[in-house]
Every structure is written in structure tokens, then in C-alpha cells.
Amino acid sequence: MRYTVLFISAFLMLSCGGTTEEEETNQTEEQTVNNETEEEEAEVAISNPPVIEPGVVGMFQIGSPVPEDLPEDLKSRKSSITVNEEGSTFDVPVNVIYNSFEDMIDLQMEDNDSQHHEDLWVTEMLIHSSYYQTSKEIGVGSTIQEFIEAYPDYTLWYTYVSDRYILDTPDLDGVQFLLDFHDYTKTPATDSDMTELDPADFKEGAKIWAIRVY
């Protein structure tokens, strides 16, 4: 009888020991996975930050070439746009940056036929994605009211030169927040390069549809 009791006790001790070791192993593996996930997220945040600043959108910068090593979730395709400047039209090379879901940003390149495409510098950027935002969380899809609350020193205006409705702020030099002309309920003046507009003359909930950085 004594041997039977000892055998059962030993069996229980071994069983408990195994369970503890398995739990510790599972916890270690889970922690390793969590650490790897956090590192991956940190790398993505560093390589393609969602910031909009004067002359800078994420990893792209005015006056610099397109980075050679894009994050895995971003791709680039070459295109061109026709620019009308002082009565003359010409094609300008563009790098369209996109992911699996949307075109994120158009990078307009310098017009220089003597240089290879990869050696051209970015001269202007047009943001289409809500991923990129200012430090005050304003981006594509933000409303006029949200912009005004974030930047009380705003200017809202129209220019017939490029036929654009624009929100901007002195806090972000060289950044224009573009509005949809369908949301303006009046007919803008066309006798001035810059006609200031009243936010009340836009449809309720009117949103920023693109952001120009130049």
C-alpha cells in the first residue's frame, strides 16, 4: 500500500512539473511573437511616418530623389502629367506611390530630359490618402470645420489660375489643402488671383479631397 501511495505522489509531481514547463514555454513563445510584432510595427512607423510638414510627406521630400528602398507595402509606378504654364503646355514625369488599396501620393519630378528618371528630384507632391496627416491630425477626409478648429489662423480662398479651392495656414508653409468645387454653393470671382471665401458658402461637412505640398 505504501508503494502505491509513493507511486501516485511521484506521478502527480511529474505531471505538475510538466504542466508548469509547458506554460513557461508557451509564455516565452508568446512574448517572442509580441516582441517581433512590436519591432515590425516600429520599423514601419520609422520607414514611412504619416507626417505632413513643409516640404515633407512621410519619407518623401521636396528637393530629393525618390528613396530607392520603399517599405514592402508601398510600390511605385512611373507616369506623367501635362502642365499648363503661362500659355505653354509640357509633360512632367510623375512617380505614383501606391499600396494594395489606393494611390497614396503623386510625386511630381523636375522637368530635365538630360537626367535619368531615378536621378530627378521631387518638385511637388499631391496626397490622396488619409494615412498622411499633420501634427494636428488634419489630412485627406478632414472637414473644413475640423481644419478651422485646428488652425484658427486659416485662409480659405479660390484662384482662377489653377481653378482651385484652397485651405491653408501659415503654420504649414508650402502646403495647400484642396476642396472639391462641387461643395461650393456660389460662383467664385474670376477677376483676382486670390479670392477669399466664406466657410458658410460650402456645403455642410465639406471635406479636403487632396493635399498639395510644393
61-87 pLDDT per residue, tens? 999 999 989 999 999 999 988 877 666
Q: What gap in Å lies between CA 74 and CA 141, rounded to an integer? A: 21
Q: Is the pLDDT of residue 42 over 70?
A: no
Q: What is the pLDDT of residue 97?
A: 97
170 and 208 share a domain? yes
| In-domain check, residue 135 | no
59 and 97 share a domain? yes
Q: What gap in Å lies between CA 110 and CA 123, rounded to an integer? A: 6
Q: What gap in Å lies between CA 89 and CA 57, rounded to an integer? A: 27
Report the pLDDT averaged over residues 2-31: 48
In this predicted model, what pLDDT tens digit does every residue of 119-143 receive, in sequence order? Answer: 789 999 999 999 999 999 999 999 9
| In-domain check, residue 136 | no
Residue with cell 458658410: 200
φ, ψ (nearest 5 deg) of residue 26: -65, -40
40 and 58 share a domain? no
Total domains in the fold of the chain: 3
Alpha helices in 48-174 (DSSP H): 144-150
Boundary residue ending a domain (127, 152, 183): 127
26 and 60 share a domain? no
Question: Residue 75 sits in which domain range?
Answer: 52-127
φ, ψ (nearest 5 deg) of residue 198: -100, 130
Three cell numbers written together for 204: 455642410
The model's pTM = 0.75
| In-domain check, residue 134 | no
